């Protein structure tokens, strides 16, 4: 083994810097948090090319005294902690006096700062940890820090940076979070020369939400403010019907700092559980306030995942706060049942049609054979066996039925001179359809509450949710279409979105086109929609495009899944556009489509399309049968 040497100061700095500075977003987070600690109420963040070549944070905070400037860049130099007890009592998180030291170790940093008591300000330039300039300068009160060429001296780290757009999005998320947790600060974000976010700083959470997350979101909120177990939970949550397809709309803050907390997320899910659809997530901005000695502060400064000394207490506090808010604020009528219904997960089709080949595969040699099976199992060309066995004819009423794992044949075979192979395939197809129309024909009984179709099929009565069924059928239709039917809008429609959502849309214009949407960039917080699928009407544009944007935001989805999400959104709106189906002929048709198609069990959002009430159950209830 080689000799042990003590690393040079510079190398040690680089290693330490790696802990705090992962990417431009982590630099911005540290710098803006410093500005907030310095009591700034106006902060401007500017980045170029995702931040890797240029980042600037300007604030109107306290500034740094000339004598302290160099100290601020030393590792473990901080004005915020003086003793060990401060570690547990400070109202801030993760201070180690490391940010400026770390950033200046891996970039070219320029600081311009002035306190209100000083006549002149200070300009300090430090590159790769080495001082390059220290001079007096004229400047306004507050601090500007410019960080250029991040990782210029650590090429290995530079390689880990993602595309500029991705890094910019990460910075954007940090900025959004800060804007949401500090409505009292006016925050500007300039990306590649364009102002993309500008919050009022008027202290209202609602106005911060409006700016960051968009109008639609802001209009659907209920206020939250409850204290449980000495933990105050406040903020805004969306009503259940505005739940989102991903968790991207969830922001948790601990004493105003962005955190991730498994306990808090779980609590929200649980509070919304019976009010939202499968696959949808609550959204909102939640601040958790509790004494710092109840948080495990030993979390990494750059990481946001937080552990609480009493996770259960936090869970309960968030849960009750959300529950209270929803009960008070969500006026949507709720159907309450005595017993909870657990919707089954979509199961394999209980009844399925088989081709001859599939049928052959099902019957392996080790199963007992009937005469008919023997014929099909034989891998030899059919013609070779014809002399040994009588040729079968399959009657129209014959069916192959698969029930779970088990397959049964309902078929009779007779001797006939014909080509078995083609005959079988043709007739199998026919026999199944025929069986359906004979035994499973659907009788329309009526409509209840203008919402539910009542229909009878076989030995059961079905309650069908008209809208859910319609939606699902439209969804299947959209999915099948090769080229979508589109309509060009006479005047293009502008849709305002959060910046993240806008970026997500513009990154996926090809998928959108496939689904029938033509979308282009329009200003900092909106897109222009030029064409939409014919199934939609113009007044839907805002809602649908907003929904699509937020579903595209979650990364890591396969393209087909994203397309499905797009079709869901369109089908949902299109079903509304088509209005309530009213004539009994339409309803009869819908009922048949649903009940004769085993694939249609759930609406695209996962709600069941139909409930079954078995005749045997009814007879039991009436005491006709045990």
Q: How far is the CB of 29 from Mg ion (least distance, A)?
A: 9
Q: Which is nearer to ligand ADP, 26 or 431 (CB)?
A: 26
Q: How far is the CB of 574 from Mg ion (least distance, A)?
A: 51
DSSP 352-405: ----HHHHHHHS-TTS---HHHHHHH--S-HHHHTTTSPPP-B-TT-EEEEETT
By a kind-dependent CB cut-off of 5 to 8 A, residue 551 interacts, out of Mg ion, ligand ADP, none, with: none
CA atoms within 13 A on the CB side of 124: 24
**Window 354 to 383, contacts with Mg ion (CB under 5 A):** none
DSSP 419-464: -HHHHHHHHHHHHHHHHHHHHS-EEEEEEETTTEEEEEETTEEEEE
With 0-12 CB in 10 A as exposed, 13-18 as middle and 19+ as buried, what is 323? middle
Residues that bind Mg ion (rule: CB under 5 A) add up to a total of 2
Q: Which residues bind ligand ADP (CB under 6 A)?
A: 30, 34-35, 38, 59, 61-64, 72, 77-80, 95-101, 143
Q: How remote is the C-alpha of 349 from its chain's centroid? A: 29
Determine if 473 is a binding residue for Mg ion (CB under 5 A).
Answer: no
Q: Collect all residues with Cβ–Cβ distance below 8 Å to 111 and sequence separation of at least 6.
A: 64, 69, 72, 122, 123, 124, 125, 126, 143, 144, 145, 146
Determine if 99 is a binding residue for Mg ion (CB under 5 A).
Answer: yes
Q: Which is nearer to Mg ion, 99 or 473 (CB)?
A: 99
Q: Collect all residues with Cβ–Cβ distance below 8 Å to 298 and sequence separation of at least 6.
A: none
Q: How far is the CB of 579 from ligand ADP (least distance, A)?
A: 57
User: Three-state DSSP class for 7?
Assistant: coil
Residues 280/329, Cβ–Cβ less than 8 Å: no
Q: Which is nearer to ligand ADP, 62 or 460 (CB)?
A: 62
Question: Angle CA(610)–CA(614)–CA(615) in degrees, nearest 5?
Answer: 135
Q: How far is the CB of 93 from ligand ADP (least distance, A)?
A: 10
- Report the alpha-carbon distance of residue 282 to residue 240 in Å, rounded: 7
Q: How far is the CB of 100 from ligand ADP (least distance, A)?
A: 4
Residues 543/216, Cβ–Cβ less than 8 Å: yes
Residue 183 has which token pair? 């409505």
Q: Which is nearer to Mg ion, 95 or 602 (CB)?
A: 95
Q: Which is nearer to ligand ADP, 99 or 285 (CB)?
A: 99
Determine if 34 is a binding residue for Mg ion (CB under 5 A).
Answer: yes
CA-nearest of 327, 281, 288 to 308 is 288
Residues 501/525, Cβ–Cβ less than 8 Å: no
DSSP letter at 51 equals G
Q: How far is the CB of 72 from ligand ADP (least distance, A)?
A: 3
Range in contact with Mg ion (rule: CB under 5 A) among 98-106, 126-134, 156-164, 442-450: 98-106
Q: Which is nearer to Mg ion, 68 or 378 (CB)?
A: 68
By a kind-dependent CB cut-off of 5 to 8 A, residue 167 interacts, out of Mg ion, ligand ADP, none, with: none
Q: What is the torsion angle, in degrees rounded to the nearest 10, for the CA atoms of residue 592, residue 593, residue 599 and residue 604?
A: -120
Q: How far is the CB of 33 from Mg ion (least distance, A)?
A: 6
Q: How remote is the C-alpha of 476 from its chain's centroid? A: 23
Q: How far is the CB of 99 from Mg ion (least distance, A)?
A: 4
By a kind-dependent CB cut-off of 5 to 8 A, residue 72 interacts, out of ligand ADP, Mg ion, none, with: ligand ADP
Q: Which is nearer to Mg ion, 30 or 46 (CB)?
A: 30
Q: Which is nearer to ligand ADP, 72 or 591 (CB)?
A: 72
Q: Which is nearer to ligand ADP, 30 or 501 (CB)?
A: 30
Q: Collect all residues with Cβ–Cβ distance below 8 Å to 387 and sequence separation of at least 6.
A: none
Q: How far is the CB of 99 from ligand ADP (least distance, A)?
A: 3
Q: How far is the CB of 295 from ligand ADP (least distance, A)?
A: 17
**Window 383 to 402, contacts with Mg ion (CB under 5 A):** none
By a kind-dependent CB cut-off of 5 to 8 A, residue 427 interacts, out of ligand ADP, Mg ion, none, with: none
By a kind-dependent CB cut-off of 5 to 8 A, residue 254 interacts, out of Mg ion, ligand ADP, none, with: none
By a kind-dependent CB cut-off of 5 to 8 A, residue 98 interacts, out of Mg ion, ligand ADP, none, with: ligand ADP
Q: Which is nearer to Mg ion, 99 or 321 (CB)?
A: 99
Q: Which helix or strand (DSSP H or E) is residue 223 part of?
A: strand 221-228
Q: How far is the CB of 95 from Mg ion (least distance, A)?
A: 6
Residues 294/308, Cβ–Cβ less than 8 Å: yes
Range in contact with Mg ion (rule: CB under 5 A) among 81-89, 94-102, 422-430, 598-606: 94-102
The partner residues of 442 in beta bridges, in order of sequence, read 457
Q: How far is the CB of 187 from ligand ADP (least distance, A)?
A: 14
Residues 106/315, Cβ–Cβ less than 8 Å: no
By a kind-dependent CB cut-off of 5 to 8 A, residue 424 interacts, out of ligand ADP, Mg ion, none, with: none
Q: Which is nearer to ligand ADP, 99 or 541 (CB)?
A: 99
Q: What is the CA radius of gyration of the chain?
A: 32
Q: How far is the CB of 569 from ligand ADP (least distance, A)?
A: 43
Q: Which is nearer to ligand ADP, 61 or 484 (CB)?
A: 61
- Report the alpha-carbon distance of residue 164 to residue 25 in Å, rounded: 12
Q: Which is nearer to ligand ADP, 64 or 541 (CB)?
A: 64
Q: Show the DSSP H helices in 481-558 as ranges.
A: 499-507, 509-515, 541-553
Whose CB is nearest to Mg ion?
A: 99
CA-nearest of 116, 131, 12 to 69 is 131
Q: How far is the CB of 26 from ligand ADP (least distance, A)?
A: 12
Q: Which is nearer to ligand ADP, 97 or 606 (CB)?
A: 97
By a kind-dependent CB cut-off of 5 to 8 A, residue 573 interacts, out of ligand ADP, Mg ion, none, with: none
CA-nearest of 170, 178, 225 to 201 is 178
By a kind-dependent CB cut-off of 5 to 8 A, residue 61 interacts, out of ligand ADP, Mg ion, none, with: ligand ADP
Going through 239-332 in order, the beta strands assigned E by DSSP cover 250-254, 257-259, 284-289
Range in contact with Mg ion (rule: CB under 5 A) among 38-46, 91-99, 145-153, 185-193: 91-99
Place of tokens 């008070």: 328
By a kind-dependent CB cut-off of 5 to 8 A, residue 154 interacts, out of Mg ion, ligand ADP, none, with: none
Residue 477 has which token pair? 């239709």
Residue 608 has which token pair? 């069941």
By a kind-dependent CB cut-off of 5 to 8 A, residue 263 interacts, out of ligand ADP, Mg ion, none, with: none
By a kind-dependent CB cut-off of 5 to 8 A, residue 181 interacts, out of Mg ion, ligand ADP, none, with: none
Which residues contact Mg ion (rule: CB under 5 A)?
34, 99
């Amino acid at each position: 083994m080689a000799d042990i040497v003590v690393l040079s100061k510079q190398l040690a700095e680089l290693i330490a810097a790696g802990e705090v500075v992962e990417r431009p977003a982590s630099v911005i987070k540290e710098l803006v948090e410093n500005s907030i600690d310095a009591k700034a109420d106006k902060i401007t963040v500017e980045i170029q090319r995702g931040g890797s070549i240029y980042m600037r944070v300007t604030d109107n905070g306290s500034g740094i005294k000339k004598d302290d400037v160099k100290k601020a860049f030393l590792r473990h130099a901080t004005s915020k902690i003086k003793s060990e007890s401060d570690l547990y009592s400070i109202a801030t998180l993760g201070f180690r006096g490391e940010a400026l030291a770390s950033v200046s170790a891996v970039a070219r940093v320029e600081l311009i700062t002035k306190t209100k008591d000083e006549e002149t300000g200070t300009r300090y330039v430090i590159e790769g940890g080495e001082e390059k300039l220290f001079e007096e300068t004229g400047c306004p009160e507050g601090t500007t820090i410019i960080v250029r060429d991040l990782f210029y001296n650590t090429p290995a780290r530079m390689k880990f940076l993602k595309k500029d757009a991705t890094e910019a999005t990460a910075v954007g998320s940090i900025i959004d979070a800060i804007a949401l947790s500090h409505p009292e600060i006016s925050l500007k974000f300039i990306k590649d020369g364009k102002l993309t976010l500008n919050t009022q700083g008027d202290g209202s959470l609602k106005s911060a939400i409006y700016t960051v997350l968009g109008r639609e979101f802001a209009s659907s909120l209920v206020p939250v403010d409850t204290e449980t177990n000495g933990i105050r939970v406040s903020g805004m949550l969306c009503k259940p019907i505005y739940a989102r397809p991903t968790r991207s709309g969830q922001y948790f803050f601990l004493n105003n700092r962005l955190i991730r907390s498994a306990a808090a997320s779980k609590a929200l899910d649980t509070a919304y559980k019976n009010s939202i659809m499968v696959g949808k997530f609550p959204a909102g901005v939640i601040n958790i306030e509790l004494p710092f000695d109840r948080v495990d502060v030993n979390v990494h400064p750059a990481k946001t995942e937080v552990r609480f000394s009493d996770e259960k207490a936090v869970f309960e506090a968030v849960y009750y706060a959300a529950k209270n808010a929803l009960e008070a604020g969500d006026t949507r009528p709720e159907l309450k049942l005595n017993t909870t219904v657990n919707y089954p997960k979509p199961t394999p089709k209980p009844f399925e049609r088989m081709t001859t080949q599939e049928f052959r595969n099902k019957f392996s040699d080790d199963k007992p054979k009937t005469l008919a099976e023997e014929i099909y199992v034989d891998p030899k060309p059919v013609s070779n066996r014809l002399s040994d066995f009588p040729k079968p004819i399959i009657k129209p009423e014959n069916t192959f039925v698969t029930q779970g794992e088990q397959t049964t044949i309902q078929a009779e075979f007779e001797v006939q001179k014909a080509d078995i192979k083609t005959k079988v395939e043709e007739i199998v197809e026919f026999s199944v359809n025929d069986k359906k129309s004979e035994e499973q024909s659907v009788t329309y009984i009526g409509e209840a509450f203008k919402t539910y179709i009542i229909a009878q099929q076989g030995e059961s009565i079905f309650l069908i949710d008209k809208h859910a069924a319609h939606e699902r059928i439209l969804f299947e239709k959209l999915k099948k279409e090769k080229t979508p039917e589109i309509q060009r809008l006479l005047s293009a429609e502008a849709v305002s979105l959060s910046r993240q959502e806008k970026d997500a849309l513009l990154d996926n214009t090809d998928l959108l086109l496939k689904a029938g949407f033509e979308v282009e960039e329009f200003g900092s917080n909106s897109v222009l929609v030029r064409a939409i699928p014919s199934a939609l009407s113009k007044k839907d544009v805002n809602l649908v495009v907003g929904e699509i944007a937020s579903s595209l935001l979650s990364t890591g989805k396969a393209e087909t899944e994203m397309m499905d999400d797009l079709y869901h959104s369109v089908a949902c709106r299109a079903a509304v556009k088509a209005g309530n189906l009213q004539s009994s002929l339409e309803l009869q048709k819908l009922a048949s489509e649903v009940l004769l198609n085993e694939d249609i069990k759930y609406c695209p959002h996962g709600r069941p399309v139909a409930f079954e009430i078995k005749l045997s159950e009814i007879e039991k209830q009436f005491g006709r049968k045990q």
